[in-house]
A and B are shown apart, each in its own frame.
Chain A
Amino acid sequence: MSATRLPKKDVVIIGLGWTGSIMACELARMGLDVVAIERGPWRDTASDYNIGTAPDELRYAIRQDIFLRTAQTTDTARNTPDQVALPMRKWGSYLPGNGVGGAGVHWNGHTWRFFPSDFRLRSHYTERYGANFIPEDMTIQDYPVSYDELEPHYDFFEKVCGISGKAGNIRGAIQEGGNPFEGWRSDEYPTRPLKPNLAQIMFQKAAAEVGMHPFPLPSANISEAYTNLYGVRMAPCTYCGFCEWFGCANYSKSSPQTCVLPALVRLPNFEARTLCEVTRINKTPDGKMASGVTYVDSSGREWEQPAEMVLLCAYSTFNVRLLMLSQMGTQYDPVSNTGTLGRNYAYQTNAGCLGYWDKDTNFNSFAGAGSLGMMADDFNGDNFDHTGLGFVGGANINCTTTNARPISSRPVPPGTPRWGTQWKKATAETYGHTQSVGSQGSSMAYRDVYLDLDPTYKDRVGNPLMRMTFDFKENDLKMSRFIVDRTEEVMKAMGAKQIVKTYKRGPWSVVPYQTTHNTGGAVMSATPDKGVVNRYTQHWDVPNLFVAGACLFPQNAGYNPTGTVGALTYWALDAIKNQYLRNPGQALVQA
């Protein structure tokens, strides 16, 4: 069956999540004719996340209601290149979003800026610790864009989201109560920090006692009513504890729905086609440009949407897969060390410890928010001397109160039976009297960690699934062990009567949830031999194709990716609006 060809559009956007809706809004406001093609359903706060139905742990957290169905597409996974990968039939380690808003609907809302040194990681480590400090198989590299260049775009994204926080460095002046290690900021956060719960107050005191510099977690669950630059309004967070894996019913969590879509859908030159899955980015006959996309609708009909520009804005791993399926770029091969597409996949290295308190210490953990937390960055990035430590990277240390939902939140002391009367008794005694101190660690890139197309498994329309070859490497595990020991020090100072410390261990398993911070695979680079797109996120080989998302990261930092994803999106838009559209079809960086 051949695809029906539709009239040409100025811009076709693949995926209507954070990056897609921002791109659509900015370009449609310029008057371009924009269509967004979204694999999942239309979703809005009123009908999909309303307060009457939103706080349903069984439906959303356990049965994963708003995530992609693996029957539609999934990934295969293995730890090492000599293994046979198998498809994930139930999401576990990470949870790809689905539908309008994408993963921007169900995230917790930690909204970070990477450190200035993160953008020149290889150069920074080499300069400070010598050329031999970085292991040979570690393929980390500098971003082709600097923190200073991204700063205005970080600032703008934070103002679109209404992020709640406390600045630590405004144009070089260190601010009391903020993060003294952060890169310079041109402005304070748009809204004040969330109100701390008992755990955050205890952590703040304890962290300072052990010499750290605590500060409130920059939060996309916002503390006060806010109207953003698009005229979209948000209401204060109510600390309901149904944040991560849920849509927000109170218009309090920054998401495409709460920050962009109400302005976007009013524009008559914008159109969204939902339940339509893009299967190919098409090329012009000479192979030099993208001619549009082919997609399948919910009836199984195939359509071709021609466009002057294609913006690839799906989830990071699906962006990489679509480039592979469309044969745009050269597949990375770890043996010959050639090609760039699929190279430098990275993840996140999280671990920490759990403390138990007596009954008189009541944390009221149910009164939480996805980003209600107190942090310390003393051991993140290169904020501490790595000499003699034997690892690259670091982690943020966090004390968060996100929820204590009834099904999953059952912390019991070690040795408690897994079910029965004793388990119930321990649950009742422990609930509300435990608190974790965690860490979110960097994940470096390695020669034999990568993405490619699976040779065996295909999706419902016959396209190969993407294969993920990943394991936690000793550098990152060593870093994490060092950090977990630091979390234990804070926990002791907080006065826990018992501490259970959990080091990160390999091999990576797809089963327990870890984090949906999959990065890399379509990396941005200074030269075409090191990545898929140039510094403006424009494809090295296809100048009218731009790529968004965490797939651009050369490696992952000790932070959630969303803030940097947002900043890179506005950075790319700046280049598209002020350079590319003045001379369309031209490469913005000469290879």
Chain B
Amino acid sequence: MMRNTLLAAGIATVAIATAGPARADVDNFTEVARGRYLVTTGDCMGCHIGPDGTSLAGGHLLETPFGMIAVPNITPDNETGIGKWSQQDFHGAMTRGVRPDGTHLYPAFPYTAFTRMTRKDIDDVYAYLRTLEPVNHAVDRDTLPFPFNVRMAMLGWNWLNFTPGEFRPDPNKSGEFNRGAYLVEGPGHCGLCHTPRNMLGGDQGGKHLEGGALQGWFAPNITADKRVGIGAWSQAEIVDYLRDGHTERGAASGPMAEVVTYSTSQMTEADLKAMATYLLERGAAAEPAPTVIAGSDARVQKGAAIYDDTCAACHVGDGSGVAGMFPRLRDNQLVRQADPTGVLRVILQGAQSASSPRMVTAPSMPALGWRLDDQQVADVATFIRNSWGNAAAAVTPDQVRAMREVTAGVASPAEH
């Protein structure tokens, strides 16, 4: 992406007509400053990024199990953005998923989380968005196929999957815990990715933050479970990960790299600590641990040979990795998620890790899918998932084949 950005920064300028005077009152400094921080916290840029790479003019196609959803323009352009929306209109969209004309938004827009935000915070976000340069950029909002294009159906969906209402602090917990809970469950909307989806795309009941598959990635368990969650991480380590995108244990890549780049790397240390406290204290939940597959298993032995040839140069023979550069695979929660999507994704297609102000180098995992066949990928994944303190179900060639189909046509960040 850096490459594209640089090339785009060449002679040609991206032509986006700007128009409209819908600007905010210049005196509301406090509201605007708070709103800007909340827009960062909510990672609005992650989805609403415009074709110019800097505005919130939308147009990005969001991949969902039901089809592609084009993300709308939320700059204050009267014609193509939200320039005509009132504060109340905006509040309705954020807390109920309803637009000013009464039509329903899809829950790919996480109003299911934003409904936990305070009125004041939502008004501040609105105040900030009003200060942005209006960008005239029309986005086709009807990209889902039938029957999902019937927005009225969202009424039923909301009845089944949506609990509106503002966040209520737990009086028995610390202020830091409650601040973290608010950020994680409200503006941060971590559960949108990290909670498994039911058939309808709603949260799977009782599995909050236990990890979910999306966009050909797997957002891992972030409960306090020590085996597959973040229970073995220290608060400082979680803060480092969110701020820098890199720790000794691993590197943020895929959608999480964008979250770090646009959002968490710019949050305050106090808020990151609060989120870590909440995640560590709210409890552990995971499937029971599987038994480790023995080193004598033929798949593990073949996988070990592939690992030595292909992986060990960076991840080191004992899986210890290189801190801040190449993730440690030994005793690593990410590689032993029950769902191997994440491991298979990075083996097959590679991944670009996050770059952040304190960790400017963004090493990338190369794509190896072109030179390892399905059986080889399955074996090396099975080996990694069952070595150096890891234990997880074996990966089958069928799972690898399915993963290839998911990622077919998606550009690799590290392909040549």
The residues of A with any CB-CB pair to B shorter than 8 Å are 6, 42, 44-48, 50-53, 225, 227, 230-236, 238, 240, 249-251, 258, 262-263, 265-266, 271-274, 297, 303
Contacts and interface: CB of A to CB of B under 8 A. Distances in A.
Interface in B274-324: 310, 313-314, 322-324
B200 interface: no
B416 A48 contact: yes
A166 B266 CA distance: 40
A410 B272 CA distance: 58
Given A47-B416, A52-B367, A225-B323, A235 B360 contact: no
Contacts of B352: 46
Nearest to B6: A272
Nearest to A6: B11
B329 interface: no
B262 interface: no
B373 to A, nearest CB: 14
A273 B6 CA distance: 8
Nearest to A239: B313
Given A52-B414, A231-B358, A251-B363, 13 more contacts: A6-B11, A45-B363, A46-B352, A46-B414, A47-B415, A50-B366, A51-B366, A52-B370, A225-B323, A232-B360, A233-B363, A265-B6, A272-B6
15 contacts: A45-B364, A47-B3, A230-B360, A231-B361, A233-B324, A233-B325, A235-B314, A235-B326, A238-B314, A249-B366, A250-B314, A258-B361, A262-B361, A266-B357, A266-B360
B404 to A, nearest CB: 16
Nearest to B322: A235
A19 B93 CA distance: 53
Contacts of A303: 11
A231 B10 CA distance: 26
A249 B414 CA distance: 11
B360 A231 contact: yes
Nearest to A100: B6
Given A266-B355, A297-B11, A46 B364 contact: yes
Contacts of A44: 2-3
Nearest to B3: A42
B362 interface: yes
A50 B3 CA distance: 15
Interface residues of B, number: 35
Contacts of A274: 6-7
Contacts of B190: none
Nearest to B364: A46
Contacts of B9: 271-272
A225 B325 contact: yes
A236 B326 CA distance: 11
B251 to A, nearest CB: 11
Contact of B361 (A52, A232, A238, A271): A232
Contact of B366 (A52, A230, A236): A52
Contacts of A258: 361
B350 interface: yes
B413 interface: yes
A265 B9 CA distance: 11
A53 B326 contact: no
Q: Is the interface of B mostly helix, strand, loop or mixed?
A: loop
B44 interface: no
B322 to A, nearest CB: 4
**What 5 A-B pairs have minimum CB-CB distances, sorted nearest first?**
A46-B364, A50-B366, A52-B366, A262-B360, A233-B361
Contacts of B360: 230-232, 262-263, 266
A42 B11 CA distance: 15
Contacts of B362: 46, 262
B173 interface: no
Interface string B190-216: 000000000000000000000000000
B313 A231 contact: no
Contacts of B368: 52
Binding site of A, secondary structure by majority: helix, strand, loop or mixed? Answer: loop
A242 B324 CA distance: 24
Nearest to B369: A52
Contacts of B355: 262, 266
A258 B413 CA distance: 18
B313 A273 contact: no
A190 to B, nearest CB: 16
Contacts of B371: 52
A235 B325 contact: yes
Contacts of B361: 231-234, 251, 258, 262
Given A251-B361, A266-B357, A53 B366 contact: yes
A227 B324 contact: yes
A428 B16 CA distance: 65
Contacts of B11: 6, 273, 297, 303
A542 to B, nearest CB: 26
Given A53-B366, A272-B6, A231 B326 contact: no
Nearest to B415: A47
Interface in B342-392: 350, 352, 355, 357-364, 366-368, 370-371
Nearest to A236: B322
A273 B352 CA distance: 23
B370 A250 contact: no
Contacts of A272: 6, 9
A268 to B, nearest CB: 9
A231 B367 CA distance: 26
Given A265-B2, A303-B11, A46 B366 contact: yes
- Most-contacted residue by chain B among A52, A258, A262, A263 (CB, 10 A): A52
Nearest to A240: B313
Contacts of A297: 11
Given A44-B3, A53-B416, A263-B360, A273 B10 contact: yes
A38 to B, nearest CB: 11
A33 B7 CA distance: 17
Contacts of B3: 42, 44, 47
Interface string B1-21: 011001101110000000000
A509 B360 CA distance: 44
Contacts of A251: 325, 361, 363
B6 A42 contact: yes
Contacts of A238: 313-314
Contact of A46 (B314, B325, B363): B363
B149 to A, nearest CB: 37
Nearest to B351: A46
B148 to A, nearest CB: 36
A266 B261 CA distance: 12
A265 B362 CA distance: 12
Interface in B159-187: none
A44 to B, nearest CB: 7
Contact of A233 (B310, B359, B370, B413): B359
Contacts of B370: 52
A579 to B, nearest CB: 29
Contacts of B313: 51, 238, 240, 249-250
A265 B3 CA distance: 10
A67 B137 CA distance: 43
Nearest to B324: A233
A271 B8 CA distance: 10
Contacts of A6: 11
A50 B325 contact: no
A8 B323 CA distance: 43
A272 B413 CA distance: 20
Contacts of B6: 42, 265, 271-272, 274
A303 B11 CA distance: 10
B240 to A, nearest CB: 14
A341 B34 CA distance: 60
Contacts of A50: 350, 364, 366-367, 414, 416
A105 to B, nearest CB: 14
A225 B415 contact: no
A272 to B, nearest CB: 6
Contacts of B7: 42, 274
Contacts of A273: 10-11
Nearest to A233: B361
